[in-house]
Structure 1
Amino acid sequence: MRRLWSGLRRGVTPLGRAVISTGLLALTLARLTGLVELAVVAALCLLLVAIGLAVVLAPSDVRAVLVLRPDRTSVGSPVRGRLRLANRWPVSVLSPVVEVPAGTESRWLRLPTLRAYGTHDAQLVVPAPRRGVITVGPVVYRRTDPVGLFARRVRWAAPVELLVRPATVDLAGLPLGEIRDLEGVPSDRLSMSDLAFHALREYVRGDDLRHVHWRSSARAGQLLVRQYHDTRRTSALLLVDTRPEAYADPEDFELALSVAASVTMRAGHDGYDLALVCGDTIVGGGDPSYVLDAFCRATLDAPGNTHALADLVTRGLAAAYDASLLFLVSGTATPLVDLQRVVAQTPADLWAAVWRTGAGEKAGLAEYAGRPIVTLGELGQLPVAMSEVAR
């Protein structure tokens, strides 16, 4: 009851305050002067207040569910949502007005009358102007009286999250690295359990008997086991620099995430295992959609919690020890000598490339210790640059 009264006090509109003040003043003056006209004014104000309270506080039971399909999108691609309403009260709700917040914006929807025990589906469009996580909702019904003296906010539907992924471009392909894909050329590493047959060798104690080739063993008079080429899928490691000093402008960080997301999309298409290290976020190999979702929540490091560039590489190699490809994405504000030092610490058998992003910068390609260092000024330059370094 106390919560209801507190909410009601906050819901008194400026017009409601004026009517209440006028009624109280007229009632006081009527008692002092005995004027009937003032008593009538006070009675009318009291009647309006009573009707307004009765309308605003009247019980209702409306259940609503907010659904976004899909609940993930990319920058600039709006998402359509559906608000499903069910009136479980024997009284109709006349033309309700609901508020649907979406991030920093709020939209008002006027719905048709909800009949008693009736249902209604309302369509809405949620824009996605920037990368990030947009909270859509909660859906709030703004209930007012006919005169507009009181306004009561009733929550109808819980909020939902919309993940807005970075903008991406299509890439023709990624480098193959040392270990090729299952459909490609096997590596030089040998394995006792795989798909590409290599040769037969003598049985050694501890070998799995399932790999014994019985026909050859019978002819040779000794146990022989199959040995295979290692045909594991290519594993890629993606590192995103989250130090604020690495980027001359916050938009450069958005460009860096778009580059990383484009690489992720291509890696998923080619069936590569992909691991991501982005600030405190570490996503192991698996479904690339988890990596794309991590980009939605990525932020620059807070002051005092900055990750060193060398530490980023160290943590990445520990998370993906068998990686054959490494992509490091940073900003053009990072000194070139720091990037060269990082390149020098990567293993010699690991294909590595550094991508420097800076909005408006001139595209360029350099090499250090045989590793490409690419500068990008816009996302559209990535496909050509990737084709050059993937040769």
Structure 2
Amino acid sequence: MPLPRTATTFAPPVMEARRWLDGATFPDHRPLMNVSQAAPVDPPPRALREVIAETALTNDAAHLYGPVLGLPELRAELAERWSKSYGGRIDSEQVCITSGCNQAFAAAISTLTGEGDEVILPTPWYFNHKMWLDMAGVTSIALPTGADLLPDPDQAAALITDRTRAIALVTPNNPGGVEYPSELVRAFLDLCRRHKIALIIDETYRDFDSRTGAPHDLFQDPDWHDTLIHLYSFSKAYRLTGHRVGAMVASQARLAEVEKFLDTVAICPNQIGQYAALWGMHNLSQWLAGERAEILDRRAAIQDGFPRLAEQGWRLMGLGGYFAYVEHPFDLPSNQLGPELVRRAGILLLPGTMFMPEHDRDGARQLRIAFANLDRAGIGQLFTRLTGASF
């Protein structure tokens, strides 16, 4: 008998890691450092919270079903912003709002694939992408990356079969942190177009890219919509993780298919969250610039402080967005090292095995550190604990 859909994949990694905390105690001089999840822990800025409260109190429509593809005003604002920032043309009818970026990915895959089809994912991969493909009956084809964690289009080309429906990229990358060069992203668009498959680009962390200007030029291609599906999240930009507001940019024809998926799963995205995201786009540009500067400073702190770990055999593989991806020096595999770091060092992070195919040995040597919730002092304390760890 076939397995139920949910039984075809693994337990949610962040929830699995949190179970390592059961029964653990953390003394006052060494409180828990949670660098496992890539999400802001602070609430939205007060001005935005006041808008959320006012919306809840005075906007009756915010409590009702809204348009399946999202508020027209928010769709139009994102289309206008992206057109300017990427130097291309995006129409509001090519934008939809989703209940978080994960739902955008799920919706895109549902419009692309049937049972037994294939999607190529660079490894280390974002585990929720892998989980959804498993539950959708779609085969994930691993595209190993090199020491620089950048996927190779030529290697990807060799993996394409008559069942391949898409290649999915995340930049800045989760879990690796690396920012994909514009010319690399363009090479993947060209590859996908030649093979008449989709290129999905998840840019959840685009607001914290270290580069100035557009990270790629794909929207400058007048025919971008024949191949590209672009995903975005408002969660990290405006600290709206609990409100679940994401977006997809794709052809109008594809969004007609996406609408079927969204209508049956959530009917509409969170209305209050959408109004919050719209207000944030209108009013929080300077505040967001400050958030980006702070994240880039924490990234620099990782870079500055890492030689302490390098002396003990650690290797920094990738850095950017919210993440540092590292290779550890211990004989213990990372899925055993993770729980031990909780007990011995008060550090909760994710092992590389959670981002790799089951039998890939590289994951046993790797760890992901989500540093966005540690300031410079916290990063220094993290390195102190790691340098003092022995196994």
Structure 1 length-normalised TM = 0.27
Q: Which has the higher strand share?
A: 1
Q: Which has the higher helix share?
A: 2
Which structure has the larger Rg? 1
- By relative contact order (CA 8 Å, sep 6+), the higher-ranking structure is 2
